Structure 1
Amino acid sequence: MTGILGYARVSTGDQDVAGQTMRLTQAGAIKVFTDVRSGRNPDRPGLQELLAYARKGDTLAVVRLDRLGRSLGELLATVAMLKERGIALLSLEEEIDTSSAAGELIFHVFGGIAHFERRLIAERTKNGIAAARAKGKRPGRQQLDAKRITAALPLVEAGLSPTAAARQLGLGRSTVYREVNRAAIARGI
């Protein structure tokens, strides 16, 4: 028996797969597999479990293509692997169904457009950085004020929390925590 198998992924524990799961179930998914991991992380147990469960004739459904892969190359490789196994891909948001020739064509066209868009963004970013440098600006993160960092340690040693010290000095909380840890390591604590 073939069916629709849903795959829902969110990047962090702060996010919830419930909305994706609901949409996939409404689209006819008989089972939904989930992952709470960044798309950058290739180790996705939920996706692996889905692929182990899926049989020829099944359809892998996602709410959006970016839930399945972050890059065009990754998506194309996944679709090729699915096609070899006789599994179709259904993307609800983009309305792509690779079980038909037209759906497969649309997938490749959308993939090409997405790749083109990413290249345009990269080019604009590169041009913007070059323009900023030409105006004498230094793009990127500004250097930290060593005096403020040095002032944070006595505040923490006096009993102020690193978060409060960071707020008082206009520093990032992680910066103060990092410096407190460095100081503790230097003292051998």
Structure 2
Amino acid sequence: MLVGYVRVSKADGSQTLAPQRDAMAAAGVEPDRIYEDLASGRRDDRPGLAACLKALQPGNTLVLWKLDRLGRDLRHLVNTVDELRTRGVGLKVIAGAGAQIDTTTANGRLAFGIFAAFAEFERELISERTNAGLAAARARGRMGGRPRKMDRATLMMAMAAMADREAKATEVARRLGLTTTTLYVYVNGDGTPKAAGQALLDAPAAVRPRQLQVAG
């Protein structure tokens, strides 16, 4: 079964879903199997995408007008495509840079497999960076004792560690010498920075010490 997903970034009427819906119809997607969002691709809260991914079953194929309709960034795109593959869900991209992806063809399956390789590479890279960072932290005596406050280097290690789906916040916090509360002040469960974390990342070097006032 073909399931479509369409999206435009603006809900003010200046952009229309009609061209994408027409492309879906031409690809054989039934109108009642098309999910839609009127939101920027960078937003996490896209109810249409969430419903679409939930509805997909093994053997289904997700149809996109362009690949950028799906992912909010490269990491999100790679991980989402890899998740579809592991669930037994196919992918077909109609136009744009990803139009070579069509799991009903041999070349399309090859392109689909490349995403799996990228996802595995990213997981290994994150693991290597995290282990190296934690080893450096231990060497500097950051294990045990009074919980430390957040700084930019620790934040970046925390983000890399939390991006691993199997990471446990309590263990990440313990290894970095933080409390779990402090960790979650700065980092979301998927490794993306919260407002306080983004402020710390964006702050000039001379200002960063002021960002460390959140109690551990």
Q: TM-score, normalised by structure 2?
A: 0.46
Q: Which residue of 2 aligns with 1:39?
A: 41
Q: Distance in 2 between matches of 1:10 and 1:55?
A: 25
Please report how far the alpha carbon of residue 51 of structure 1 lies from its aligned counterpart in structure 2 after TM superposition: 1.5
The one-letter amino acid paired with 2:6 is A
Question: 2:60 corresponds to which letter in structure 1?
Answer: D
Q: What corresponds to 2:24 in structure 1?
A: 24
Deviations 1:61-83 (A, max 9, x none): 00100001142221110111111
Contact 1:6–1:25 under 8 Å retained in 2: no
Task: Supply the distance in 1 between the matched residues of 2:36 and 2:109 (Cα, whole angstroms).
Answer: 25
Bigger Rg, structure 1 or 2:
1
**Alignment check: 8 A CA contact 2:43 2:72 kept:** no
2: CA distance, partners of 1:25 / 1:82 = 22
The Cα shift of 1:50 comes to 1.1
- Distance in 2 (CA, whole Å) between partners of 1:100 and 1:43 is 33
The alignment of Structure 1 onto Structure 2 pairs a total of residues equal to: 109
Taking the aligned partners of 1:98 and 1:75, their CA distance within structure 2 comes to 17
Q: Distance in 1 between matches of 2:106 and 2:70?
A: 20
Question: Aligned ranges for residues 78-93 of structure 1 at < 5 Å?
Answer: 78-93=80-95
Match for residue 66 of structure 1 among 61, 65, 68: 68
Q: Are 1:97 and 2:90 counterparts? A: no
User: What is the aligned-residue identity percentage?
Assistant: 41
Q: Structure 1 pair 81/52, CA: closer, same or farther in 2 (3 Å)?
A: same
Report the counterpart of residue 5 of structure 2 in structure 1.
Answer: 7
1:30-76 Cα deviation digits (max 9, x unpaired): 21100000011011111111122211100000010000114222111
Length-normalised TM-score, structure 1: 0.53
Distance 2:63 2:79 in 1: 16
How far the C-alpha of 1:97 sits from its partner, in A, is: 1.1
Which residue is equivalent to 1:50? Answer: 52
Work out the CA distance in 2 between the residues paired with 1:84 and 1:10.
28
Q: CA deviation at 1:101?
A: 5.2
Instruction: Return the alpha-carbon distance in structure 2 between the equivalents of residues 23 and 99 of structure 1.
Output: 18
The residue number in structure 2 matching 1:117 is: none
Residue 111 (structure 2) aligned to one of 103, 106, 112: 106
8 Å contact kept, 1:24–1:61: yes
Paired AA for residue 111 in structure 2: I
* Alignment gaps of 5+ in structure 2: 119-216
SS at match of 2:62: strand
What amino acid sits opposite 1:80 in the alignment? D
Q: Aligned equivalents of 1:56 and 1:66: distance in 2?
A: 23
Contact 2:100 2:111 (8 Å CA) reproduced: no
Q: Hey, what's the Cα distance between the residues in 1 that align with 2:111 and 2:82?
A: 15
Cα deviations across residues 87-109 of structure 1 (Å, max 9, x unaligned)?
Answer: 11110111311355531433538
Superposition misfits of 4+ residues, deviation over 4 angstroms: none
